[in-house]
Chain A
Amino acid sequence: MLKIGPLSFQSRLLLGTGKYPNFDVQKKAIEESETEILTFAVRRMDIFESSQPNLLEKLDLNRYSLLPNTAGAKTAGEAVRIAKLAKASGLCTMIKVEVIGDFQTLLPDPFETLKACEILLKEGFIVLPYISDDVILAKRLQEMGVHAVMPGASPIGSGMGIVNPLNLSLIIEQASVPVIVDAGIGSPADAALAMEMGADGVLLNTAVSAAKDPVRMAAAMKLAIQAGHLGREAGRIPKKRYAAASSPSEGMSVIE
């Protein structure tokens, strides 16, 4: 069970909704993933194209918790405004705080993220900040009261997987709230590794939406996250430098 603040979820896969080839594939991928948390962005509506269907109108919203992000924000103030706009929809209580500090790497601005979280926590939001794999920042945010921390495995959409396993493992070790690996996951192996390392969940988007077959990839990610989590709980064997026979050496018949 993944617990974020007062909310509980069976699935540990959080799925983004951007960049799918079409609504039909997107809907099938969401269903196949069995996710319970969907991420969205908040944007100006094209009022002259208001007849265009919106994904939310196609989904059974009773089945999902919406996790809008503050993507596009460059400052804490902008992130807070987007969060408040999202909440006014009446459709969500959680917010993914995303304040970008550099537009080439899309790495988050730690100072503005911290500020935004402080304000939003006071406003009563369930706050999930997207952060770099910075151990101290994760700690400070937890002390402040955020409901989960979401360190990136590598830059958004890069598909590079976990580029700094040391930092990620240190964040997981000291965590007092769920750690959800967010951004950079490329393959099911990356997602499984994150879970084996002890992450509580994985948020991904491009790895599914830009896959050759998004629906099958959604299924693969679901299984990888389940496998990684189960493996973590089961406890892996320690690594050794030399072989250790699986078969007993006693009782062998002598073959001359």
Chain B
Amino acid sequence: MKVKINGSWTEIPDSIRSVAQLAKHLNIDGKPIVIEKNAQILEKEAHQDEAVAHEDHFEIVTFVGGG
């Protein structure tokens, strides 16, 4: 299926059902990240149950150096 991640349309396997699985697929599970799905911020605990569907929009942010 096709989802938009950080502004780019990306093809991901149809077997990905949850946000937690998406994070694992992207190799970012366990990293200090926050995921927003369709403009809705997801708490970490929700990643397991939150579904991923065709044409969903995801924003994935992290902490970077700043002052």
Contacts and interface: CB of A to CB of B under 8 A. Distances in A.
Category for how many chain A residues contact B: 35 or more
B63 to A, nearest CB: 4
Contact of A40 (B33, B41, B63): B63
Nearest to B59: A44
Dominant secondary structure of chain A at its interface with chain B: mixed
Contact of A56 (B32, B43, B44, B67): B32
A89 B63 CA distance: 9
B65 A47 contact: no
A85 interface: yes
Interface stretch (A64-72, A111-119, A169-177, A226-234): A64-72
B31, B63, B67: which has the most chain A beta carbons within 10 Å? B67
A54 B36 contact: no
Interface of B: 5-7, 26-28, 31-34, 36, 41-44, 59-67
Contact of A50 (B7, B31, B36, B43): B31
Contacts of B31: 50, 54, 57
A3 interface: no
Contacts of A19: 65, 67
B49 to A, nearest CB: 15
A154 interface: no
Contacts of A44: 6-7, 59-61
Nearest to B32: A56
B64 to A, nearest CB: 5
A245 interface: no
A144 interface: no
